[in-house]
Amino acid sequence: MNTSITPTAANPLKLGTRRSPLAMAQAEETRRRLCAAHGWDEDVIELVTVVASGDQVLDRPLAEIGGKALWTKELDAWLADGNIDFAVHSMKDVETERPATLMIAAVLPREDVRDVLVGAESVAAIPAGARVGTSAPRRAAQMLHSRPDLTVVGFRGNVATRLAKLEAGEADVTLLAAAGLNRLGQSAVGSPLPSDTWLPAPAQGAIGVECLAARADLVALLDAIDHKPSHAAVMAERALLRGLGGTCHSPIALLTTAEGTNLTLRAALFSPDGAERIEASATFPAGDNDGPAALARTLLASAPEAIRRHFTGS
């Protein structure tokens, strides 16, 4: 693919990433794919690391200290200032409303979307009254809906930190993303939960690459590694979130399946305590944002107040 960009080791493209082990693994994968697509040596892409605000405060839930923007704001500023050419993100950690100056130019092939339960073989096998370590509203609500006898305790940090907290007895079980474990070479950890009965998070397992929308040269370059089916599914899930007016406090779980050029989006909303749950689904052509928007309206119209108050859509 021809572009106007010809990076060299002396004048490399700069890829911004958080400094956590998982973020670095995702950045390495992005670099490998981009260099393979264009026939470059890997030293023509420099990884530029930042300690994100979300990685600095680990004793409080993310929703209490600024939400998902704490994963992206430093990289956003570096893009705006020209300190980096593009940035790599876990798409489930990217806030739904992004600056118009930025563009998700590529989504890599999506990894396993499932959650992994660590500390028990299944949700049913968790001992009565056990403590579940998680700071994710979706995981907490979904677990309490299935097992109201359990107690949720706050649990934040990278994979190694959370596994260490579990080993130290701060909780009896915890939940991790299968995609993250796979990318870290830890696929043997825990028991994956079936995605048809335990719905994942929006955009779980997807890596996005973002650049300035005005950089047509970079947009064209990144198109070579854009996995169109993954991109379409992630954008549909983000469109649903936008229609719902979901925030970091909003417990939502969903699953996207593809058949031909159509996507089926199955979504469940919860009250934070798990007592209330509603579900609906819709099928629509990939790339059609009207389908997710209509599904959002359907869900909100049937949602009880205990759920509805945690979404701002109409």
Q: Which residues are catalytic?
A: 93
Cα-based distances in Å from 170 to 123, 133, 152, 162, 173: 18, 8, 11, 9, 9
Dihedral sign for Cα atoms in the order 295, 296, 302, 306: positive
Residue 92 · residue 113 · CB < 8 Å: no
Q: Residue 39 burial (CB < 10 Å; 0-12/13-18/19+)?
A: exposed
Show the CA angle centred on residue 245, arms to residues 68 and 107, nearest 5°. 55
Q: Residue 82 burial (CB < 10 Å; 0-12/13-18/19+)?
A: exposed
